[in-house]
Homo-oligomer: A and B are copies of this chain.
Amino acid sequence: MRYAVLGTGTVGRTVAAKLASLGHEVTVGTRDPQATLARTEPDGYGNPPFAQWQPEHPEVRLATFNEAAASADIIVNATNGAAALAALEAAGADNLAGKVLLDIANPLDFSQGMPPSLNPVNTDSLGEQIQRAFPQAKVVKTLNTMNTLVMVDPARVPGEHHTFVSGDDADAKKAATDVLVSFGWPAESIIDLGDITTARGTEMLLPIWLRLWGALGHADFNFHIAGARTGA
């Protein structure tokens, strides 16, 4: 399968590397590949520049958002949430039409200081914004409720724990589930919450996630819904 992973940060890199390790053809999309490769300083989160990461992952291509999306069967939105709509606009509605679009981003808003708030929130979500802006894309919100290392290696967290899928298209949610299973998620650990409006619920897990990260002192944790199985 050919994947476009939009976003060159830690989440994009981690998911791209995982998909490549599973034998997929992976292109990371960015606004300006030359600018991305020209950076020599760590980003705002302390991640090494992409030019340092890429030689360790020679099988992952770097291209514009548009080129990456055009050649892909499945698109992963791994941008920082504030940049998501612009990145997808650059990817091109035609290049998203009819395709599964896994939205794993969160609309964190750092403009009011730390901890970040969410924007949109409550009566809207980034997942819904993307689905409205690109009605022909098959948006599935998933994996946005955990650290990126857990996304691609759920066994890092001991015991049972869950991930969620939200989306309007049943086939797209099935395709998303297949991706999750290939990442190591047991099928029974994937909860289908319903349509894309349920992305509000998963995006709104971020505030407690951030506080738990602080309280626990590590990011190798995840949400488990105790009692889910009895009624599932």
Contacts and interface: CB of A to CB of B under 8 A. Distances in A.
Interface of A: 112, 117-118, 121-123, 156-161, 164, 191-194, 198, 200-202, 204-205, 207-212, 214-218, 220-228, 230-232
Contact of A222 (B157, B198, B227): B227
Contacts of A122: 117-118, 121-122, 207
Given A122-B117, A226-B157, A193 B218 contact: no
Nearest to A119: B122
* Among all A-B residue pairs, the 6 with the closest Cβ atoms: A201-B208, A221-B227, A161-B226, A224-B224, A201-B207, A157-B227
B226 A212 contact: no
Q: Is the interface of A mostly helix, strand, loop or mixed?
A: mixed
A217 B212 CA distance: 28
A225 B226 contact: no
B194 A211 contact: yes
Contacts of A118: 122
Given A122-B207, A220-B231, 11 more contacts: A158-B226, A158-B230, A161-B226, A193-B212, A194-B211, A194-B214, A202-B208, A217-B231, A221-B228, A223-B225, A223-B226
A221 B202 CA distance: 16
B231 A227 contact: no
